[in-house]
Amino acid sequence: MLKSLCEKNKWRNGKYHEENQYLHLISDIIEHGSLDNGRNGMTKAVFGAAMHFSLANGKIPILTTKRVAHKTCLKELLWFIKGDTNNEHLKEQSVHIWDANGSRVFLDSRGLKDRKEDDMGPIYGFQWRHFNASYMGCDADYTNKGYDQLQNIIDILKCPETRNSRRLVMSSWNPLQLEEMALPPCHVLAQFNVTDTNKLHCALYQRSGDVGLGVPFNIASYAFLTHLVAKHCGLEATDFSYFVGNAHIYDDHIDTLKTQLTRIPKEFPSIEIHTSRSNINDYKVEDFNLMDYTFHPKLTMVMRK
């Protein structure tokens, strides 16, 4: 039955809809995934999944078969870009996706009893901007400390003589600091690539993907990032390739995701970034305009910490 639902949704207005890659992954996991009792609950999982999304002409793959909290996603991305690790700064923007992992109880369970509440440790943004710098807390000044992976990529992309490099890699996975993080990173390695002198591509490898809740968010986040880097470097965002190692569905998400499989995808929205700022840290949510985002009703699932 799940397969027939996916086939029904495969075409829209005579065109294959890229969102069906996500729906097919749900179907594949439910029908063929292995049953695993993991760190935070029972899952069905497959290993090794791939999706490819066009970003040409401002398109952005924010899923439409349910509402994706795209503003929350963008606020978190801009938090990463600044190298920020203080969850209080997200709470001030009414973003609460890190609250459980920043709680006193959770930090203590990770052995981080000396870490103040809401200090997330050297997670994503810290590694993007200060890779392997000694972590001294979320309020410390890390100017010129560690390796700034993101700025290095930007500098290379802005130069026509170097932008075709095959070394434009940004890693969040730092084995030396995993135990200092509130949560080890799930999306671990991004690579940028330029073709035809100005077309920017991005590929992401994610070691672990919560298909019901996390994966839609991750697709949107790195699509936002690719559009932003393209704008900032004077390039054209072209496509986003997404690779997941362990792609899993929690057992209490299955029935909700079966409902999602009955929905026909709508057209993806488009994005416009109003201005090109001199520093990647200075972009604001107000600089982004998401256009024509239509979606099916929200689906509620419990997030595992």
191 to each of 66, 226, 244, how far by Cα in Å?
28, 10, 14
**Closest to 5 measured CA to CA, from 41, 30, 40:** 30
Say how far apart CA 224 and CA 61 lie, in whole Å.
9
243 close to 50: Cβ distance less than 8 angstroms = yes
* CA 275 – CA 112 distance, rounded (Å): 40
Predicted local distance difference test score (pLDDT) of residue 41? 83
SS3 97: coil
pLDDT at 270 over 90: yes
Res 3 pLDDT > 80:
no
| Dist CA 257 CA 4 (whole Å) | 15
pLDDT band at 12 (very low <50, low <70, confident <90, very high): very low
The predicted-structure confidence for 167-181, as pLDDT tens digits, reads as follows: 999 999 999 999 999
Amino acid at position 304, single letter: R
Q: Which residues pair with 52 in a beta bridge?
A: 241
Closest residue by Cα to residue 293 from 6, 93, 66, 21: 66
- Asked if the model's pLDDT at residue 184 lies above 80, the reply is yes
Burial string for 166-204 (b: 16+ CB within 10 Å, else e) reads: eebebebebeebeebbbbbbbbbbbbbbbeeeebbbbbb
In this prediction the pTM is 0.94
Q: What is the pLDDT of residue 39?
A: 79
- In three-state secondary structure terms, 255 is helix
H or E segment to which residue 52 belongs: strand 41-54
Is residue 82 within 8 Å of 73, Cβ to Cβ?
A: no
What is the residue-averaged pLDDT of the chain?
A: 94
Instruction: Please tell me the distance from the alpha carbon of residue 48 to that of residue 94, in angstroms, as a whole number.
Output: 34
pLDDT, position 124? 98
pLDDT at 14 > cutoff 90? no
Q: Answer yes or no: is pLDDT of 6 > 70.
A: no
Architecture of domain 2-291: 2-Layer Sandwich (3.30)
Q: What distances in angstroms separate CA 242 from CA 148, 251, 299, one per listed residue?
A: 23, 24, 23
Choose the catalytic residue: 73, 138, 186, 202. Answer: 186
Tens digit of each residue's pLDDT (9 = 90 or more) over 55-72: 999 999 999 999 999 999
pLDDT at 7: 52
Residue 31: how many other CB atoms lie within 10 Å: 12
Residue 186 annotated among the catalytic residues of the structure = yes
